[in-house]
Amino acid sequence: MGRIPCCEKESVKKGQWTPEEDHKLSSYIAQHGTRNWRLIPKNAGLQRCGKSCRLRWTNYLRPDLKHGQFSDAEEQIIVRLHSVLGNRWSVIAAQLPGRTDNDVKNHWNTKLKKKLSGMGIDPVTHKPYSHLMAEIATTLAPPQVANLAEATLGCLKDEMLHLLTKKHIDIQFQSPVVHHAQPMINNNGTTSPSYHITSKHEVNDDNTIEKIKIGLSRAIIQDQDHASTPSNKLWDMSHGATSGHFPGFHYALPSFGHEGDGSPWSQSMCTGSTCTAGDQQGQFHPKMVDENGDESEGEKDARNVSSMFSQDCDLWDLPSNDLMNPLV
């Protein structure tokens, strides 16, 4: 038969560890090591589950652990690795001596995610939101794109009003570089200077993104309704139309010479330095690392993100050396 249970669940204590418990566990492990977690609480005189002891040791008590703030360099490594590996916290933590997967995960969820969002970067895909909007827009009919654009602009307006009325705000003109927002292409194809907006608190886009999602759902629903009528051929852009006029949404842009993407949203929004020609086609590249270790699309994305960070912000200025993890 199998093994005996790791602990009697009834007599097991839960919740915060006391300094006394920490001391008991630490001194027991110092003497006997961590060979059998089932026996450790029993032998150390602890009313804890072996699993709880293991977590306490690996996440907090281990002498080689680093406590305290993450450095800029550590944050950069996390962001870069996350862009390639996703939520593989243990692999990411393995590249950061003294940090546990729990540390990295917590730091990501509480700080880095918001930091990226505040910079206009989607923390899941590590692409600029404008880029994602462009990708979404390529799948929609222009009337629905207009709807989506309206929803997005409404969100931005709300955000600005919120900032102007609730928080100290410092707006200054800058040369057109990527920071919190990408330079916008005007109707005549020229770029507008971006605004460098700083406030006491970073702009948190969580709510904004939710609003955009709602707008998008609306657009998709309308798109489905629209698709049920024969007239939906009107928005088929495959015949090369690159200008037009829809209620509430004007655009007139030169052709970029890409097949299958006549989306005005794509062309107007995805023009920052992070968008390559391929990007402008709104392609999505789920494959991150190939078996030969050749540079994958994911790595290119990671490099794009990294290079974008380095343009205007020392914090994210990570050297473009190879990733430490041999898997990558």
Partner DNA sequence: AACGCGTACAACCGCCAAACG
Partner DNA sequence: CCGTTTGGCGGTTGTACGCGT
Q: Which of 252, 224, 257, 227 is nearest to 240 (CA)?
A: 257
Binding residues for DNA restricted to 239-298, rule: CB under 7 A: none
309 token code pair: 């960070």
CA–CA dist 104, 125 (Å, integer): 18
DSSP string across 98-137? T--HHHHHHHIIIIIHHHHHHTTB-TTT-SBHHHHHHHHH
Of the candidates 10, 67, 239, 321, which one interacts with DNA according to CB under 7 A?
Answer: 67
Q: Does 107 bind DNA (CB under 7 A)?
A: yes
Q: Does 50 bind DNA (CB under 7 A)?
A: yes
CA–CA dist 76, 53 (Å, integer): 31
* 3-state DSSP assignment of residue 260: coil
Of the candidates 8, 27, 32, 36, which one interacts with DNA according to CB under 7 A?
Answer: 36
DSSP H stretches of helix in 138-174: 142-166
Q: Does 106 bind DNA (CB under 7 A)?
A: yes
DSSP H stretches of helix in 167-253: 206-227
The owner of tokens 């852009």 is: 237
Q: Which residues of the chain form beta strands (DSSP E)?
A: 169-173, 195-199, 243-246, 249-252
Of the candidates 62, 105, 218, 300, which one interacts with DNA according to CB under 7 A?
Answer: 105
Q: Does 98 bind DNA (CB under 7 A)?
A: no
Residue placing its CB nearer to DNA in the complex, 91 or 160? 91
The DSSP 8-state label assigned to residue 185 in this structure reads B
Residue placing its CB nearer to DNA in the complex, 47 or 222? 47
Of the candidates 26, 87, 198, 296, which one interacts with DNA according to CB under 7 A?
Answer: 87
Q: Which of 10, 3, 43, 11 is nearest to 27 (CA)?
A: 43
CB of 88 to DNA, least distance (A): 4
CB of 8 to DNA, least distance (A): 11
Binding residues for DNA restricted to 205-244, rule: CB under 7 A: none
CA–CA dist 85, 56 (Å, integer): 26
CB of 183 to DNA, least distance (A): 28
Site size toward DNA, by CB under 7 A: 43
Residue placing its CB nearer to DNA in the complex, 58 or 311? 58
CB of 201 to DNA, least distance (A): 7
Q: Does 89 bind DNA (CB under 7 A)?
A: yes
66 token code pair: 């680093």
Q: Does 90 bind DNA (CB under 7 A)?
A: yes
Residue placing its CB nearer to DNA in the complex, 89 or 129? 89
* 3-state DSSP assignment of residue 198: strand
CB of 70 to DNA, least distance (A): 8
Q: Does 198 bind DNA (CB under 7 A)?
A: no
CA–CA dist 70, 107 (Å, integer): 8
Q: Does 16 bind DNA (CB under 7 A)?
A: yes
Q: Which stretch binds DNA (CB under 7 A): 13-21, 116-124, 270-278, 302-310?
A: 13-21
Instruction: By CB under 7 A, name the binding residues for DNA.
Output: 1-6, 13-17, 35-38, 50-52, 54-56, 58-60, 67, 69, 87-91, 101-103, 105-107, 109-111, 114, 201, 204
